[in-house]
Structure 1
Amino acid sequence: MFKIRTRRAALAGVALAASSALVLTGCSGGGSEPAAEFDPDEEVTLDLAFWGNDVRAEMYDEAIAAFNEEYPNITVNTQFLGFPEFWEKRQTEAAGGGLPDVMQFDYSYLRQYSENGLLLDLTPYLGNIIDTEPLSENILQIGVVGDETTGIPTSTNAWGMYTNPALLEQVGVEEFPGGTWEDYNDWMAEVTDAAEAAGVELWGGTDWTGRIQNFEIQQRAAGEDLFTPEGEPNFTEEDLADFWSQGDEIRTDGSVIGQQRLEEVFPLSGFDSALTASELTWDNFGAGYLGNLGEGYSELGLVAPPVTEEGAQDLYLKPSMLHSIAATTDHPEASATLLNYLVNAPEVGEAFGTNRGIPASETQLDGAELDPLGEQIAAYEESISDRLGDAPPVPIVGYGTLEEKFRQIGQELGYGTITVDEAVEQFFAEMDVVLNQ
């Protein structure tokens, strides 16, 4: 159901029609010559849209209440939906030229909306209305599409490795000490062998070649992102074949959990089913893992992924979400003022904590009260600072489709139903369709 929260004004009548089949069309942007400051006496009403639930809506209410103490002349009407419905609604609005003034935005949609001229270029507001001092250059670059900044991250996550200390203690194996991918394979085999000796159903991990992110960080270690800024593939069939071939041994020697066992516990993973001692994933997955593991598991380990090449900046901070402004807004300066508050204000950090991830802004992080897991994730992201490079170009349109195809091919490799050469052929065929549709 489409939910509306109105502060200081009632929002009359909302059309609920939404269709994911609509094609996004470009719109002429407002505010091409923005003022350096927002007039504090101007009475303005803005629409703010986000995905989430009632809990997040209450957090936004608290944040907007604090915002109105500083800007009592700006009325903010908030609208929220579940994630799929949110994007269906945005597509309908985009086709009709009526996007909300300010939007919570997902990274996977940023290129699509930006290249269609639907989002306001925030570059002229950076350093004046939008305070950039609390945001690192790496963070700011995340929201750049072409030569325009069309999104500002609210929070970040990074690729890492979760481990299960309770299970490792049970089988008498120490935490993964770090090292190469081969070292990681050896460690997983050690865990699996120790578990078998102890009569425990446990494996060291999962076949890591089934995740496109592991391919990505290996490519970045060689100095190449997966795709160029123009959206062209930046890897060859040989590169992909070499990557998938690294899993040949662990897929057959029993050191990682088998594909059939994973299917039996789906939709849980081997890790949050307490069947594997490690999992390579985004660091903001920790709370979900603890929730699924349930009673008896009160903490997780969080360490850096294996190293492909010493000294390489293979990791990067990915936005959990961003905030963007519609190109058609009638109030670009006021919208930028609201966006700045939602990204930087310590009061917003206090309202949200880690609900949106670890705050990207230093001032907002200072205002957030982190739970133990949040503190652990923040410490982890600080610990990998030497491995953090510039974020890759904004994902190509259709990246989600390719990520899912990569995962499906990984499953087939796990079952042994296709060869590496066949896997490469399938992926490149799918990529050709996505890039040329």
Structure 2
Amino acid sequence: MRLFSVFSIISLAVAICPPVSMAQNGGMPLPGGANAAANPNGMPPRNLPSSDTPPSLRGAGPGGNSGNLSNSGKLPQTHGQVQRVWDLTPYTGYLTKHDHPEQAVIDWILRETGTDLWFTAPFGYMNADRDKLTVYHTDEVHQMVAGIVDRFVAGDKDPQVLGLRVMTVGNPNWRSNAHLLMQHVNVDSPGMQAWLLSKENAAIVMSQLRARTDTRQVQALDLITHNGQTEKLASTRGRNYVLNVKPAPTGWPPYEPETGEIQEGYRLEISPLLSTDGRAIDCVIKAEIDQVDKLKPVELNLPLPNAQIHRARIDVPQVVSWRLHERFRWPSDMVLLLSCGVVASPERPQATVPLLNLEMITGTTAGRADALMFIEFRGRASENLTTTPLVPQMATGIGAPNRGRY
């Protein structure tokens, strides 16, 4: 009678509870419903977020947060945005040897408007190819864009000549005789000074500098460039030093030096843009100067197998660097003079006789000078019968990012 009661209770429980599927691994039940058949391993479905899923990934596909799709087919017009298209072929048609001449137009628009304007409200966008520029934004932005585009498409298409002179002066007291010949210009970079000079006064100041014994001309060239395009120049050289000391694979000597190299010299980028009538010039100048001021020696005590000490020396470079990234605007019939202040000299003088080079012995460098840069617009290249010296070009990596461009 008791046995019959137990079987009756089991039968009643089976009749009340619905059957559940049993997993093959250990007999654990799978969640019920339609998702059970699609998940034989007992794992939650991929399209259902768990409690540990970050909010930004909930509702996302396998590739992460895909955002919300908009099927309205309309762009925001909360601030009266409209789309306008400019024809760039009057400018890009002349630059057949440039891969992406329209990039200069984009660069100068961003320099004029700033980058934040295109990533904040109100909504807008800009796109360009070799033939056209498309902009969607407010009327105020369109006016700024039109002013820049006109300087490209309606300006001078012929190659222009930009005279560039880089000099160093050991003592900044050259200003005493040249002060009244120059008109001071405000500069944002700390330690930087700028002046405007007439071409006659610029010739006088340059003559005064050349008469000094502490003046050295680093670079003098007539740079041929197209309106708005960026030209890059570089003059660098490597300086070796002992970076580390490591065990020698041959066993004797027990240790060998590991050398490193620092590139010292200058790198310069210039991007000039003329006004439509050619009376004013905007120029973005980016300069970098790096110099090894001194190699400080450090003695190392390294153990030997016979319990003795092996002495070696490594070098710790003391590098002096200087950076400039400024935009200037001045009348095209005047000369812009820039002073970097007393900074690392762009180039160190080489010893006439290499064996008498004291830098190899002392590890020091006499490299402080007032670096000066004369920039003069000389008009069309066809009107200037000058010979442009070969200048080492600074290589640019393929697909390099545009960060820091503006």
Provide TM-score, normalisation by structure 1.
0.21
Q: Which has the higher strand share?
A: 2
Higher relative contact order (CA 8 A, sep 6+): 1
Provide TM-score, normalisation by structure 2.
0.22
Q: Which has the higher helix share?
A: 1
Greater C-alpha radius of gyration: 2
